[in-house]
């Protein structure tokens, strides 16, 4: 009846990245991916053209703060309408709704997220959040998958379990310098990048032809002992979270305010890069080699500093009430990267 001339709807499975093409009539329902079985919500399919997906792949060592960053970013995106006038957000799956509820209650109770468990590719949990009318970038569907740090700690990254890593151009590489300093096993930031590059090359990625994009995020920046004063100031001078909490703010992130924010992010990125190359502590932790490797491999990188908690947390603290800093920056870089 439909034949080959029937109108088709195209979309990408948010879990395995398979390209799917179905007759329009069949797109009016949740649709199971023929590859991995993931049931895509109808809102994802319907909004695929108007709110294209923004895939975010995290890459970082165990307990450096990847899950915490993603959780706090989500909390920011749930409340950032104080800064973005027309903006709305919508969780598209039961999993996302559950996640939202848990995040809100965990924040109230001062609970931190669990350690992330490894999963099989077809067990991966995909978080899908539809973000409408973001200033400058329009509507996007944020698709996030989280993986445990132990996946990334050797040159044998199990890429088959992490489809976004090869299949999407942008990766958020999260590094905690305080943890590297405490580390007794000689891990360094260039080792992490090396694991990323090796995995890509083993999977046929030709860096000279295909420019990959990395957002290098220095987490727990508020407790980095050697952070430069200007970066420390940049970190502290963030009002997004406090204005989300109060619902009122004078630092709107739209129009001219957003442009200025992005320009400042650029400057900070360059400053972090210089700090990595020249600070003695960072050089010992492989910072200079990291920058050099990025340049040599033709990777387009941006550098940010964040603090998901906004404070140093003692192990004995029964409850932790967060005050995140600059957590929105990596997200804005991802938007910039995937909008060009």
Partner 1 sequence: MAQSFTLSASQLLYSRVEAEYSPKGRSGYQVVFHSPSLSATEVSAIERRVQCFQGDGDRLQFFTLETGRVAIVYSTIIEPDMRINDKEGRRGAFIAHALIFEPNDFARVRNDPFLVLEAERESPIFVNEPQVLADEIGAKKATIPIMVSATPRRTVEPPSGWSAPELAKLEDWMERGRTDQTLMFLADATQTEELMSVIHFFASPQERLALSFDTAVDGCQPTPGMYWAVGGRKRLSNAKIIIVEYDKPRLPDIPPTAPKAVGYGTWLKHSLKESVTNTIEMIPTAQFLAGLWAENRWQNPDFELSAVATQQFVQFHWGAIFPRIISALEIHLGSAMAQNFAQALSRLGWQPQTQFRMAIEQQVDVKHLAHYVYHWLLMTNTTDLANEADKLLALADVAQYLPLRILALLNQKKGLFNRYKQSEALSQTLDYAVNTSLQNGNNLFEETLLQLCPKFTTPDRLVTQFTAPFIAQHLTGQNYPEDIIINVIDAFLDVGAGRHLAPLTEFVSRLSSKSLQQIQRKFKNTMPAPQFAQAVDMRLRQKF
Catalog residues that contact partner 1 under the rule CB under 8 A: 30, 32, 37, 39, 62-63, 94, 98, 111-115, 117-120, 122-125, 148-150, 153-154, 184-185, 315
- The residue (of 63 and 139) whose beta carbon lies closer to partner 1 is 63
- The residue (of 43 and 205) whose beta carbon lies closer to partner 1 is 43
**Smallest distance from partner 1 to CB 277, Å:** 28
SS3 303: strand
Nearest to 40 by CA among 26, 61, 50: 26
- Strand 53-60 to strand 138-145: parallel, antiparallel, or no bridges (unpaired)? parallel
- The residues facing 215 across adjacent strands are 172, 302
- The residue (of 94 and 256) whose beta carbon lies closer to partner 1 is 94
**Smallest distance from partner 1 to CB 191, Å:** 12
- The residue (of 273 and 286) whose beta carbon lies closer to partner 1 is 286
The tokens for 79 are 């409340």
- The residue (of 60 and 140) whose beta carbon lies closer to partner 1 is 60
**Smallest distance from partner 1 to CB 2, Å:** 22
**Smallest distance from partner 1 to CB 175, Å:** 16
**Smallest distance from partner 1 to CB 333, Å:** 26
The tokens for 319 are 């409850």
- The residue (of 5 and 94) whose beta carbon lies closer to partner 1 is 94
**Smallest distance from partner 1 to CB 120, Å:** 5
* Residue 74 near residue 129 (C-beta atoms within 8 A): yes
* Residue 291 near residue 209 (C-beta atoms within 8 A): no
* Residue 17 near residue 164 (C-beta atoms within 8 A): yes
10 Å CB burial of residue 224 (0-12, 13-18, 19+) is buried
- The residue (of 122 and 246) whose beta carbon lies closer to partner 1 is 122
**Smallest distance from partner 1 to CB 60, Å:** 12
**Smallest distance from partner 1 to CB 238, Å:** 24
Nearest to 226 by CA among 279, 289, 182: 279
* Residue 125 near residue 146 (C-beta atoms within 8 A): yes
Tokens 């995937």 locate to: 338
- The residue (of 36 and 215) whose beta carbon lies closer to partner 1 is 36
- Beta strands in the chain, from DSSP E residues, in sequence order: 8-12, 19-23, 31-32, 39-40, 53-60, 88-91, 126-134, 138-145, 170-176, 213-219, 300-305
* Residue 128 near residue 14 (C-beta atoms within 8 A): yes
């Amino acid at each position: 009846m439909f034949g080959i001339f029937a109108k088709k709807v195209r979309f990408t499975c948010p879990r395995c990245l398979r390209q799917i093409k179905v007759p329009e009539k069949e797109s009016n329902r949740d649709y199971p991916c023929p590859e991995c079985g993931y049931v895509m919500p109808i809102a994802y399919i319907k909004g695929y053209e108007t709110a294209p997906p923004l895939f975010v792949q995290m890459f970082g060592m165990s307990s450096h703060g990847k899950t915490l960053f993603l959780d706090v970013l989500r909390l920011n995106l749930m409340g950032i309408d104080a800064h973005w006038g027309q903006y709305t957000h919508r969780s598209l799956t039961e999993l996302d709704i559950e996640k939202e509820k848990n995040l809100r209650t965990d924040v109230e109770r001062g609970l931190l997220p669990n350690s992330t468990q490894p999963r099989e590719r077809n067990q991966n949990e995909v978080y899908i959040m539809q973000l409408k009318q973001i200033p400058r970038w329009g509507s996007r569907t944020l698709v996030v998958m989280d993986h445990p740090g132990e996946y990334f700690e050797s040159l044998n990254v199990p890429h088959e379990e992490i489809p976004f890593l090869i299949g999407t151009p942008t990766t958020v590489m999260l590094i905690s310098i305080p943890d590297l300093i405490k580390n007794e096993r000689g891990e360094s930031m260039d080792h992490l990048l090396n694991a990323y590059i090796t995995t890509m090359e083993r999977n046929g990625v030709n860096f000279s032809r295909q420019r990959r994009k990395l957002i290098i995020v220095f987490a727990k920046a508020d407790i980095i002992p050697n952070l430069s004063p200007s970066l420390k100031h940049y970190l502290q001078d963030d009002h997004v979270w406090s204005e989300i909490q109060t619902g009122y703010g004078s630092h709107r992130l739209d129009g001219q305010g957003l442009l200025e924010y992005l320009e400042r992010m650029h400057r900070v990125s360059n400053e972090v890069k210089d700090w990595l190359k020249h600070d003695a502590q960072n050089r010992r932790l492989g910072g200079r080699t990291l920058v050099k490797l990025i340049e040599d491999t033709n990777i387009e990188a941006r550098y940010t500093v964040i603090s998901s908690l906004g404070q140093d947390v003692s192990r004995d603290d029964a409850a932790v009430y967060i005050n995140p800093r600059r957590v929105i920056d990596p997200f804005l870089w991802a938007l910039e990267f995937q909008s060009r």
